[in-house]
Amino acid sequence: MNTTIIHISDLHFHTYPQNFRDWKSKRILGAANFIFRRKRQFPFQRAKRLVEQIQKMNWDHLVISGDLTQLALEKEFSRARKTLEPLLTDPERVTVIPGNHDRYVMQAAGTDLFSQYFGEFFGNKEIHVRKLNSDWVIIGWDSAHPNDWLTASGTVRRSTIQATADLLQSCPKQTQFIIVNHYPLTFPEGWNYDRFHELYNLVPVRDWILRHPQIRLYLHGHIHKNWIHHLPRDSGPELLLLNSAASTSTLSSGQVSSFHQIDLYGDNVRVSPILLN
């Protein structure tokens, strides 16, 4: 059975804090970043064009791998939900996970704006699970959490790994899996790794995934540079890693893709870069 996935990420819907309490936090840095850089990089019109382009495509499942917002403000979540609504009509066909900007600051007890606006596309369990067809299953991870002012790192919890391991063990041996997480596991050649910006436990998480050959794809965002990477395994098929961030940003010189289309044919995978003009 053939299945088509659209993978987008890091849409960064944005607005200004509306009151003093919202300014009195890490949001001061995020708002400055927005004013001097990201306001030009993420014009709202491009988000609308992205939705219109995806509406015209034939797909079975949509994946959004985090950073829907810039400052985790309710108005940003509301705008993201309203703009993306034409693509969200069937929760069974959509996977949405939070990014570090969606967990930007500590929120009041009992308040989780990501869950309030997009929780139906992740659920309230340790991991998000969607069966795509008889052969493929998507697993969503929530590794984002608030940090101090100069840190944007995340952590894949032990409980998340354990829940994933239990799922892998419970499924038929022929089942193949796609992990969706906000943070990357690989980087372009020559990239300067910053431990204050990536997964705290990147190496053990990557090693764990590589030890499980039934995990075929890893979809992420976070770094605003689209790529397709391949990691070989000692045995079994290679791990394919796709970065679709930032799907709504203005194009840079030589950019060839804004997001990816993934076609699954049995146990075969074909990835097509898509450009948002």
180 - beta bridge partners? 140, 219
Structurally, the chain folds into a number of domains equal to: 1
70 - beta bridge partners? none
State the Cα–Cα distance between residues 195 and 209, nearest whole angstrom. 20
DSSP single-letter state for residue 58 = -
CATH value at residue 132: 3.60.21.10
Would you call 173 exposed, middle or buried from its count of C-beta atoms within 10 A (0-12, 13-18, 19+)? exposed
Task: List the domain range (segments joined by +) for residue 82.
Answer: 2-274
The confidence score (pLDDT) of residue 164 equals 98
Look up tokens 């590589």; give the residue. Answer: 210
The confidence score (pLDDT) of residue 52 equals 98
pLDDT in tens, the chain (277 residues): 799 999 999 999 988 666 656 655 666 666 666 665 666 788 999 999 999 999 999 999 999 999 999 988 999 999 999 999 999 999 999 999 999 999 987 765 457 999 999 999 999 999 999 999 999 999 999 999 988 878 889 999 999 999 999 999 999 999 999 999 999 999 999 999 898 999 999 999 999 999 999 999 999 999 999 999 999 999 899 999 999 999 999 999 889 999 999 999 999 999 999 999 8
Look up tokens 């499980």; give the residue. Answer: 212
State the Cα–Cα distance between residues 200 and 223, nearest whole angstrom. 15
The confidence score (pLDDT) of residue 276 equals 95
State the Cα–Cα distance between residues 147 and 126, nearest whole angstrom. 21
State the Cα–Cα distance between residues 142 and 159, nearest whole angstrom. 11
**Structure pTM?**
0.94
